[in-house]
Structure 1
Amino acid sequence: MTENTGKSPQQLERLRRRAAFLRELEEAKALRDRIAPRRARVRRIRAAMRRATYHH
């Protein structure tokens, strides 16, 4: 994100906050998957079933 042409400081700050939030969200998901691997597996299977069902 080194290129900031045409973006206001407010927009850049919002993008930085969003990137940090998404990083923390991924870390939280990874931690939850390590703590409860069975639940994580079930969640992945259900997500795959949803994608297979509604992907027409």
Structure 2
Amino acid sequence: MPDREQRETDAERRRRRAQFLHELAEARELRERVTPRRARAARLRQAMRMRTFRW
């Protein structure tokens, strides 16, 4: 049945995506710990970008 197979691949894709996002967040935390000054500057830049963004 292709339908059941499609659901399994969707679930697998979601699981892989969750794993990827988790690893991405971990890497970001690690980078912030290693270079806090650069990370702080990046956060400030991001905040400025969000403030100047037109909704």
Q: What percent identity do the matched residue pairs reach?
A: 52
| Paired residues for 1:1-56 under 5 Å | 8-56=7-55
From the CA coordinates, give the structure whose radius of gyration is larger.
Answer: 2
Matched positions, count? 50
Dislocated runs of 4+, deviation >3 Å: none
- Which structure 1 residue ranges, 5 or more long, are not aligned? 1-6
Equivalent-residue separation in structure 1 for 2:15 and 2:31 (angstroms):
24
Deviations 1:8-55 (A, max 9, x none): 100000000000000000000000000000000000000000011114
- RMSD, matched Cα: 1.2
**Counterparts of 2:40 and 2:54, CA distance in 1:** 21
**Structure 2 unmatched runs, 5+:** 1-5
When the two structures are superposed, what TM-score results if normalisation uses the length of structure 2? 0.85
